[in-house]
Amino acid sequence: MTGAVTPTRNKPRLRYFAVAGILVAAFGFLLYQGLGSALNYYETAQQAVASRATLGNSTVNVEGIVKPGSVHPTASGVDFVLTSGPVQLAVHNTGSPPQLFQPNIPVIAVGHFSGERFVSDQILVKHSSNYIAAHPGRVTAPNGTKR
């Protein structure tokens, strides 16, 4: 029987390649999404105000400089204004500000928009690794000693 057709075993291999392709595509998509959000760690106050409508109630990290004269302690935290370019954004923070929080320094406020104000529950102070050398005595170590 030389003309008989033998069944091929390519169908199981094709299934494995299809499943592997789907898994690789899914992994690539997740990696792309993860890296994309990691690279956009924060938006400037100017960017956040410009995209306020699309942000809605979603949590966002907003960076700006604390405007001098705008810091006012409240019963639940602190109110202040972030500046970024020509934009000024009123922030209501409901947590304890970090020890280095003060006017004229860059900070990141974590929170969401509520009307015209930005409601934050966390403030992160941005500073370079040279901050302690440039401002000795402002930073207190956990054991209470000045650095």
Task: Report the distance separating Cα 91 and Cα 67, nearest Å.
Answer: 11
Write out pLDDT tens, residues 63-108: 999 999 999 999 999 999 999 989 999 999 998 888 889 999 999 9
- The pTM of this model reads 0.62
pLDDT in tens, 24-36: 999 888 877 776 6
> What's the pLDDT score for residue 146?
47
Q: Is the pLDDT of residue 110 over 90?
A: yes
Name the band, by pLDDT with cuts 50, 70 and 90, for residue 132: low
What CA–CA distance (Å, rounded) separates 109 from 59? 10
Is the confidence at residue 134, as pLDDT, over 70?
A: no
Q: pLDDT category, 143, cuts 50, 70, 90?
A: very low
Residues 85-97 have pLDDT tens digits of 899 999 999 988 8
The average confidence (pLDDT) of the chain is 81
